Amino acid sequence: MNQQLQEDTSRSPIRRAPGARIHPASSEPDHVVADSQKKRQEAEPAFVLHSYPYRETSLIVEMFTRHHGRIGLVAKGARRPKSALRGTLLAFQPLLVRWGGKGELRGLYGAEWQGGIPQLRGIGLMSGFYLNELLLKFLQRDDAHEGLFDLYAEAVTALSVNSRISSTLRRFEKFLLGELGYALTLDREGGTDKVVEPSARYTYVIEKGPVRLDAGIGAEIELSGKTLLDLACDNYEDPVTLAQSKLLMRRLVAHYLGSKTLHTRQLLVDMQQI
């Protein structure tokens, strides 16, 4: 799975200066961490989303930061046995990081573990990888989403104790789509001012909203009005709401991802967890 994520994230376009050399073991040009003393950033809250080897002893680290969004950093020497960064750049752990530079990839100067979140395990760990892949696939670099960062921190904390995993994922998916401009209409019928009725049956038309189903008419995705209203206020106590919202969010995420594939979602589906 890490190899698949590396292949996807390393395809992000890098602006190469004329004549920039490419190291045989990496697709990144030599100049990407040039001018590293410029635009220095201190003590920024962050989480590691993904990392992969760069040259002989370094790492390229994709991070989600509170005030700068998703960024790419080069952690020089982080793979050396005695590197202070070696045991710090771990996924799902809150960090304070320092970096500098102005290119597509900047130089990481330091990272301090902030503690407080137990290591994710089992289905919680797989669900955490799913959240990370959503952020890697959906977010552009240097696009801040402070509310999404805070919700991510809450979600990771919940996953660390395997608490309400499915509802945690649904809430995050819905908030993420809203942050990207794809907010869902859930309490009104699509294209009208009619209020969704809890006892009625609906399907959901993307970019339009809930559409009422007449008696005897079926649809690929059927939702009760109660499910739509519960989803609108993030209430997942009803097992029917949880099951139906899972199908709806799966469809919406797949639609907005387009041709991109979520490797972790398929693993989780295979495990019959989401």
- What pLDDT, in 10s, does the model give residues 201-232? 999 999 999 999 987 677 889 999 999 999 99
H or E stretch at 153: helix 146-160
> In 3D, which of 197, 189, 184, 194 has the Cα closest to residue 248?
184
Given a cut of 60, whether residue 26 has pLDDT beyond it is: no
Task: Give the model's confidence band at 29: pLDDT under 50 very low, under 70 low, under 90 confident, else very high.
Answer: very low
* Tens digits of residue pLDDT in 107-155: 999 999 998 889 999 999 999 999 999 999 999 999 999 999 999 999 9
If you average pLDDT over residues 253-269, what whole number do you get? 85
> In 3D, which of 96, 87, 90, 101 has the Cα closest to residue 141?
101
Q: How many CA atoms lie within 13 A of 99 on its CB side?
A: 28
Amino acid 38: pLDDT: 56
Answer with the one of 81, 113, 145 that is the final residue of a domain.
Answer: 113
Q: Note the pTM of the prediction, 2 decimals.
A: 0.82
Amino acid 271: pLDDT: 65
Torsion of CA 255, 261, 267, 271, to 10 degrees: 20
- Between 8-12, 53-57, 147-151, 188-192, the lowest mean confidence (pLDDT) is in 8-12
Domain that holds residue 265: 182-274
Residue 127 in any domain: the answer is no
3-state secondary structure of 232: helix
User: Distance between terminal CA atoms of the chain?
Assistant: 18
Indicate if 9 and 101 belong to the same structural domain: yes
Contact (Cβ atoms closer than 8 angstroms) between residue 216 and residue 222? no
Residue 121 in any domain: the answer is no
> In 3D, which of 47, 54, 72 has the Cα closest to residue 62?
72
Task: Give the model's confidence band at 19: pLDDT under 50 very low, under 70 low, under 90 confident, else very high.
Answer: very low
Residues 112, 264: Cα–Cα separation, whole Å: 28
Task: Give the model's confidence band at 14: pLDDT under 50 very low, under 70 low, under 90 confident, else very high.
Answer: very low
Contact (Cβ atoms closer than 8 angstroms) between residue 231 and residue 186? yes
If you average pLDDT over residues 266-272, what whole number do you get? 69
* Tens digits of residue pLDDT in 170-192: 999 999 999 999 999 999 999 89
Length of the chain: 274
Residue 152 in any domain: the answer is no
Average pLDDT, the chain: 85
Residue 161 in any domain: the answer is no
Answer with the one of 113, 136, 154 that is the final residue of a domain.
Answer: 113
Residue 137 in any domain: the answer is no
| % of the chain surpassing 70 pLDDT | 83
Indicate if 18 and 109 belong to the same structural domain: yes
| % of the chain surpassing 90 pLDDT | 69
- CB burial of residue 20 (10 Å; 0-12, 13-18, 19+): middle
Output the six-digit token pair for 21.
């050399």
CATH of the domain at 273: 1.20.1440.120
Residue 130 in any domain: the answer is no
55: left (phi over 0), alpha (psi -120 to 50) or beta: left
Residue 14 in any domain: the answer is yes
Residues 25, 136: Cα–Cα separation, whole Å: 23
Residue 56 in any domain: the answer is yes
Amino acid 23: pLDDT: 31
Answer with the one of 113, 136, 171 that is the final residue of a domain.
Answer: 113
Given a cut of 90, whether residue 89 has pLDDT beyond it is: yes
Structural domain count, the chain: 2
Residues 71, 49: Cα–Cα separation, whole Å: 10
CATH of the domain at 22: 2.40.50.140
Given a cut of 90, whether residue 268 has pLDDT beyond it is: no
User: Distance between alpha carbon 261 and the CA centroid of its chain, in Å?
Assistant: 13
> In 3D, which of 67, 65, 66, 59 has the Cα closest to residue 88?
59
31: left (phi over 0), alpha (psi -120 to 50) or beta: alpha
Contact (Cβ atoms closer than 8 angstroms) between residue 125 and residue 62? no
